[in-house]
Amino acid sequence: MPSEPGLIQVFQAEWCPYSARVRQRLNELDLPFVALPVPAAKDERSVMQERTGTRTIPAVILPDATVLGGDAAEIITELDKRFAEPPSAQAQRDQLAAHPLGRIIG
Protein backbone atom coordinates (compact mmCIF):
# COMPACT_ATOMS: atom_id res chain seq x y z
CA MET A 1 0.00 0.00 0.00
CA PRO A 2 1.91 3.07 -1.17
CA SER A 3 1.92 6.37 0.69
CA GLU A 4 0.28 9.41 -0.84
CA PRO A 5 2.46 12.37 0.18
CA GLY A 6 0.49 15.52 0.93
CA LEU A 7 -2.86 13.74 1.08
CA ILE A 8 -4.80 12.61 4.10
CA GLN A 9 -4.85 8.82 4.16
CA VAL A 10 -7.88 6.97 5.51
CA PHE A 11 -7.61 3.28 6.33
CA GLN A 12 -11.22 2.19 5.94
CA ALA A 13 -13.78 -0.21 4.55
CA GLU A 14 -16.82 0.63 2.46
CA TRP A 15 -18.98 -1.58 4.68
CA CYS A 16 -17.97 0.27 7.86
CA PRO A 17 -20.39 3.05 8.91
CA TYR A 18 -17.67 4.67 11.07
CA SER A 19 -15.37 4.89 8.06
CA ALA A 20 -18.23 6.43 6.08
CA ARG A 21 -18.73 9.10 8.75
CA VAL A 22 -15.05 10.07 8.61
CA ARG A 23 -15.04 10.17 4.80
CA GLN A 24 -18.21 12.30 4.85
CA ARG A 25 -16.62 14.79 7.25
CA LEU A 26 -13.50 15.00 5.08
CA ASN A 27 -15.76 15.78 2.12
CA GLU A 28 -17.62 18.42 4.15
CA LEU A 29 -14.29 19.98 5.07
CA ASP A 30 -13.30 19.89 1.38
CA LEU A 31 -10.10 18.01 2.23
CA PRO A 32 -8.55 15.77 -0.42
CA PHE A 33 -7.87 12.28 0.84
CA VAL A 34 -7.06 8.80 -0.35
CA ALA A 35 -9.18 5.91 0.93
CA LEU A 36 -7.08 2.83 1.65
CA PRO A 37 -9.17 -0.34 1.84
CA VAL A 38 -8.29 -2.88 4.51
CA PRO A 39 -9.00 -6.59 4.82
CA ALA A 40 -12.19 -7.51 6.66
CA ALA A 41 -10.27 -9.68 9.14
CA LYS A 42 -8.34 -7.63 11.73
CA ASP A 43 -5.56 -10.22 11.87
CA GLU A 44 -4.81 -9.50 8.19
CA ARG A 45 -4.22 -5.77 8.72
CA SER A 46 -0.47 -5.87 9.40
CA VAL A 47 0.33 -3.02 6.96
CA MET A 48 -2.23 -0.84 8.68
CA GLN A 49 -0.81 -1.80 12.09
CA GLU A 50 2.71 -0.84 10.95
CA ARG A 51 1.57 2.54 9.61
CA THR A 52 -0.97 3.56 12.28
CA GLY A 53 -0.31 1.47 15.39
CA THR A 54 -3.80 -0.04 15.24
CA ARG A 55 -5.83 -2.61 13.35
CA THR A 56 -9.14 -0.85 14.06
CA ILE A 57 -10.87 1.21 11.37
CA PRO A 58 -11.15 3.98 10.63
CA ALA A 59 -7.63 5.30 11.07
CA VAL A 60 -6.36 8.52 9.51
CA ILE A 61 -2.85 9.71 8.74
CA LEU A 62 -2.61 13.47 8.25
CA PRO A 63 0.02 15.03 5.94
CA ASP A 64 2.12 15.98 8.99
CA ALA A 65 2.22 12.23 9.90
CA THR A 66 -0.20 12.61 12.84
CA VAL A 67 -2.24 9.44 13.24
CA LEU A 68 -5.88 9.67 14.30
CA GLY A 69 -7.51 6.40 15.18
CA GLY A 70 -10.19 4.67 17.11
CA ASP A 71 -13.60 6.17 17.56
CA ALA A 72 -14.96 8.01 14.50
CA ALA A 73 -16.35 10.79 16.71
CA GLU A 74 -12.89 11.41 18.18
CA ILE A 75 -11.34 11.50 14.71
CA ILE A 76 -13.98 13.98 13.52
CA THR A 77 -13.50 16.15 16.61
CA GLU A 78 -9.76 16.31 15.91
CA LEU A 79 -10.35 17.12 12.23
CA ASP A 80 -12.67 19.93 13.30
CA LYS A 81 -9.99 21.34 15.61
CA ARG A 82 -7.42 21.36 12.81
CA PHE A 83 -9.44 22.40 9.76
CA ALA A 84 -11.97 25.20 9.26
CA GLU A 85 -15.34 24.29 7.83
CA PRO A 86 -15.81 25.86 4.38
CA PRO A 87 -19.10 27.43 3.23
CA SER A 88 -19.74 24.38 1.02
CA ALA A 89 -20.04 22.03 4.01
CA GLN A 90 -23.79 22.49 4.35
CA ALA A 91 -24.31 21.58 0.69
CA GLN A 92 -22.44 18.32 1.33
CA ARG A 93 -24.69 17.58 4.33
CA ASP A 94 -27.81 18.41 2.29
CA GLN A 95 -26.75 16.01 -0.47
CA LEU A 96 -26.16 13.26 2.07
CA ALA A 97 -29.52 13.87 3.74
CA ALA A 98 -31.25 13.54 0.34
CA HIS A 99 -29.53 10.21 -0.36
CA PRO A 100 -30.73 6.86 1.01
CA LEU A 101 -27.29 6.35 2.62
CA GLY A 102 -27.89 9.50 4.65
CA ARG A 103 -30.03 7.49 7.04
CA ILE A 104 -27.11 5.14 7.67
CA ILE A 105 -24.17 7.57 7.73
CA GLY A 106 -25.74 10.78 8.95
Low-confidence ranges of the chain (pLDDT < 70): 1-5, 101-106
Question: What per-residue confidence (pLDDT) applies to 37?
Answer: 96
DSSP helix/strand/coil, 37: strand
pLDDT at 105: 64
Q: Tell me the percentage of the chain whose pLDDT exceeds 90.
A: 75
| Residue among 64, 72, 60, 67 nearest 34 (CA) | 60
Residue 3 has what pLDDT?
56
pLDDT at 104: 62
Q: Is 102 exposed, middle or buried (0-12, 13-18, 19+ CB in 10 A)?
A: middle
Total-model pTM: 0.86
Which CATH architecture best describes the domain 8-105? 3-Layer(aba) Sandwich (3.40)
Average pLDDT, the chain: 91
